[in-house]
Copies of this chain bind each other. A is one copy, B any other.
């Protein structure tokens, strides 16, 4: 798969437990609870049960740390979705299942998903988030390309279609993520179903001519 985790992590010294994942987990928990804003270095250190100074032994700055949290969490999601994408079945089935899986998981960890999708502050973190979008898009594109190859889907700009699917999923998730009304959770399933149906039509539907104005 496309690896989001490319930071060398050279500064890690062996001897004793590697606190890297511990810190990452503590930070993710905090972010999942109350967003990036509340994930201050002091809070993260406390949550990880270590001193602030130790934090800086594993991460050069808060920004780096947040970036890594985003990358780490995103990679996991991308991996899961990618796993679905490589199963047996028609491209259509796999596309639906991949989208469904992504949405289901995101809805389970609402606050974290929201942070990963819509909250970022620092440019570096934002960049990591976009990389996440692209990695996810790449998974969908692979399925679409296969579908086009085997005649399931009509000829199309598969990269654009994949981006659209990502956009549909995020928009469909972000909106309810912030509104208290949708917290009921029940209407979620039908909402997700509608979104995926739209995506499938977008990918497999009969071509509609759109001619951009001069």
Contacts and interface: CB of A to CB of B under 8 A. Distances in A.
B100 A212 contact: yes
B210 A200 contact: yes
A142 to B, nearest CB: 17
Interface of A is mostly: helix
Nearest to A130: B178
A193 B210 contact: yes
A121 B195 CA distance: 27
Interface in A165-214: 166-172, 174-175, 177-179, 189-210, 212-213
A74 to B, nearest CB: 13
A195 B177 CA distance: 25
In the complex, the count of this chain's copies comes to 4
A189 B210 CA distance: 12
A123 to B, nearest CB: 8
Given A121-B121, A127-B178, A206 B208 contact: no
Contact of A170 (B167, B197, B202, B207): B167
Interface in A78-129: 92, 96-97, 100, 118-123, 126-127, 129
* Interface residue range, chain A: 35 or more
Interface stretch (A17-25, A59-67, A131-139): A131-139
Interface string A3-19: 00000000000000000
A206 B204 CA distance: 8
Contacts of A156: 194, 197-198
